[in-house]
Amino acid sequence: MAVPAGATTGRSIVLGVGGGIAAYKSCSLLRLFTEAGHYVTVVPTEPALNFVGAATWAALSGKPVSTGVWDEVARVPHVRLGQQAELVFVAPATADLLARAAAGIADDLLTNTLLTARCPVVMAPAMHTEMWLHAATQANVALLRSRGVLVVDPASGRLTGADTGPGRLPEPDELYRIATGVLLRGTTDQDLADRTVVISAGGTREAIDPVRFIGNRSSGKQGYALASAAAARGARTVLVAANVALPDPHGVHVVPVSSAQELLDAVRNHSREADVVVMAAAVADYRPTEVQDAKIKKDGRTEPPTIVLAENQDILMDLVAQRPGGQVIVGFAAETGDERSSVEEYGLAKLRRKGCDLMVINPVGADLGFGTPDNEAVIAGADGRIVRVPRVSKQALSHAVLDEVAARLRAR
């Protein structure tokens, strides 16, 4: 079975903007949308124009901007925008806007659009902490979610003035990843809601001395994309990150580690109650038997020092051996082919040897796999199912993997 590339360019998006100070961040989100080739119509509320003017939205989108239902009446914009959109993304969504959307009030162009939209709808709230935590706001959020709206939990951090706490709009890059994921899937379905997913990412480092280590080229991008995708699908997500220099994905609990032993301990600890474990990290197969306290110096040596290696424990096999009933375990096999076997054959052999439910087999090379924004893979199941994913973004591959995970969870 082949998975389509999942291109998301050239899509029709309505960007709704509520009347909050975080509206300035949506300018960057709009730029990300348009640079990706999407056709974006900005629909601000009247209060939003107090923060970012209509001229700015028109200049960035290349389209006129309206807030009311009486502009260009002959085109019936209060109906057409929602009918024709492939995604409605509201950022920021104020407490007032959430309340009006939940109540079905249609007193401006944006709330009319929300009522007529039959496409996925995403709302990213931003407000002061007390407003976000108020029972009325939480009830409105729960009601919207019950109707299929993806309401993104706000981030915690600096708000206006000296206030800090939950209520901050996530950064534009993270909002863009959420939007892209919804466009890739064509739905806001939270198929991993109430599930706990543990994902490892990056590459372990095995110390030789205080300045040297044995490591690998893994950037952690695929693992981070998986964590971001799992969180967007409703999962409680734990990311065990080995030596990764990337911003933490929104809504994900990140546990930093360095060595293979530290990664093993962290994954063991967090996987006991997990529904899914995805081992995307590149774990060093060997470690030095002795770690020098001081930097190894040349000191006129005629021969290089000898470093004796010991084999690290196989973390994936350890997890399989100790997994609780119903847990889905996913392994990753970064492979190169040779005269004996192909990349896929090596990966399938690893699937049989490791005993996990799924093995994501991806070829690696100078321009593929490590450090690149895209990837290709074969997702092989222990049940014999094979899904071949052509070269796509790591986000698209993440959703293809999680589709297979979700299907197995439903079957258990």
Looking at 3.40.1800.10, 3.40.30.10, 3.30.420.80, 3.40.50.10300, the CATH number of the domain 196-410 comes to: 3.40.50.10300
At residue 274's C-alpha, the angle toward residues 270 and 278, to 5°, is 85
38, 111 Cβ separation under 8 angstroms: no
Mean per-residue pLDDT over the chain, rounded: 91
* Closest of 211, 213, 222 to residue 246, by C-alpha: 222
**How do the domains of the chain map onto residue ranges?**
12-185, 196-410
The residues near 82 (Cβ < 8 Å, ≥ 6 apart) are: 14, 88, 112, 113, 114, 115, 116, 117, 118, 119
31 vs 52: CA distance, rounded Å: 14
Strand partners, 378: 361, 388
Q: Is 179 helix (H, G, I), strand (E, B) or coil?
A: helix
159 CB contacts (<8 Å, ≥6 apart)?
128, 129, 165, 167, 168
Torsion of CA 48, 54, 56, 60, to 10 degrees: 100
Structure confidence by residue, pLDDT tens digits, 7-50: 467 899 999 999 999 999 999 999 999 999 999 999 999 999 99
Give the side-chain half-sphere CA count within 13 A for 9.
Answer: 6
CATH of 12-185, one of 3.40.50.300, 3.40.50.1950, 1.10.468.10, 1.10.540.10: 3.40.50.1950
pLDDT in tens, 75-133: 545 577 878 899 999 999 999 999 999 999 999 999 999 999 999 999 999 999 999 99
Q: 370 vs 52, 160, 166, 219, 344, CA distance in Å?
A: 40, 40, 35, 6, 18
Taking alpha carbons only, the member of 361, 359, 360, 392 closest to residue 375 is 392
The proportion of the chain whose per-residue pLDDT surpasses 70, expressed as a percent, equals 94
Q: Which residue in the list 216, 269, 312, 375 is annotated as catalytic?
A: 216
User: How far is 22 from 91, CA to CA, in rounded Å?
Assistant: 8
How far is the CA of 165 from the CAs of 51, 136, 146, 155, 251, in angstroms? 22, 18, 26, 8, 14
Which has the closest alpha carbon to 264: 284, 245, 248, 244?
284
Mean pLDDT of 219-243: 96
* pLDDT per residue as tens digits for the range 355-365: 999 999 998 76
- Mark 148-171 as b/e (b = at least 16 C-beta within 10 Å): ebbbbebbeeebeeeeeebbbbbb
Tell me, yes or no, if 362 is annotated catalytic: no
Q: Name residue 241's beta-bridge partners.
A: 201, 256
CA separation for the pair 390, 379 (Å, rounded):
11
Confirm if 231 and 254 have CB atoms less than 8 A apart: no
Q: Of the candidates 34, 44, 104, which has an alpha carbon nearest to the alpha carbon of residue 71?
A: 44
Cα(108)–Cα(98) distance, rounded to whole angstroms?
Answer: 14
Residues ≥6 apart with Cβ < 8 Å to 324: 272, 273
What was the pLDDT predicted at 67? Answer: 75
Region 160-165 average pLDDT: 78
Contact between 239 and 249 under an 8 Å Cβ cutoff? The reply is yes
- Chain centre distance of CA 217: 21
Query: Fold identical between 12-185 and 196-410?
Result: yes
State the pLDDT at residue 74.
Answer: 44
**HSE toward the beta carbon, residue 62, CA cutoff 13 A:** 8
Strand order of the β-sheet with 386-393 is 252-257, 236-242, 196-202, 276-279, 328-335, 358-363, 374-381, 386-393
Task: Show the tokens assigned to 335.
Answer: 């492979």
**For residues 147-161, average pLDDT:** 89
